Amino acid sequence: MTPLELTADQDGERIDRFLARSVPELTRSAAQRLLEEGAVTRSGRPARKNDKTALGDVFSVLLPDPEPVDIVPQDIPLHVVYEDEDVIVVDKPVGLVVHPAAGHPDGTLVNALLYHCGDSLSGINGERRPGIVHRIDRDTSGLLIVAKNDFAHLALAEQLQDHSLYREYEAVCVGDLKEESGTVDAPIARHRADRKRMAIDPAGRRAVTHWTVLEHLSGYAHIQCRLETGRTHQIRVHMASIGHPLLGDTVYGPKKPWPGLAGQCLHARRLTFRHPRSGELVTVECPLPDWFQTVLDKLRRRT
């Protein structure tokens, strides 16, 4: 692509942020991946993602060729909580993968969105993840916001980066928390030995989770978690790191599955975002699913 030269107001800006604001095809996370892969040069030398820009820099970005994909729209039921011409918010059920990947070529949320929205999805994240601004795990249920055009996608991605997009979860964790609330501020990175897992790592990216006890349940706790950042498996890793893994999480907690649970007891309950076009605050929420409520009822009977 055409080399990028700095303007005076871009001096001293983080390189990933500069790239995301200068290259329409890139989100900040995509820019970070390209920097890690050595696909960005700074005045002829590989750029490092933690560096800042300086006047006189000239950047070149090698954008990857689009991968050939054939994602078929599929009539998979969607629980739409909010929708307009820019944004759609869905309540994702447990077991539904967000986008096609190895081992999950179809039957995903993206397949369902293509059927529901047609061509009205943003293309910034590529053909495999049209409209996807953020993700939640396959075995996590709840709210996920999707962009229906590139304008909305860029605006929502910026809210994710500056932490103004409010995301609230409810979960059940193992063990009786001694405090009524707390914060885990610990960096997260890919596990150095097991690439399918994440781990607390001083070299990782900053991650902050605020938690509050909603109900003590005799050896367990029903908690609310608010994300200040949004790293992969963040709540699961953070709660396990303080000795309270999520109930049913066999990756970061006890290996024995909890009867009746497909995975971790975690539900994305509430979202607040600034509407990309109107600028107004929009809050959406969804109730706890039946399986979550069943877990709570069982634990209350044990108390």
> Which positions are annotated as active-site residues?
137
Interatomic CA distance for residues 204 and 186, integer angstroms: 9
> Collapsing DSSP states into helix, strand and coil, what is residue 136?
coil
Q: Give me 282's structure tokens.
A: 């929009």
Q: How many Å is the maximal CA-CA distance in the chain?
A: 68
∠105-108-109 over CA atoms, to 5°? 150
Contact 210, 225 (CB under 8 A): yes
Interatomic CA distance for residues 46 and 218, integer angstroms: 54
Interatomic CA distance for residues 83 and 81, integer angstroms: 7
Interatomic CA distance for residues 71 and 107, integer angstroms: 10
Q: Give me 130's structure tokens.
A: 């049209």
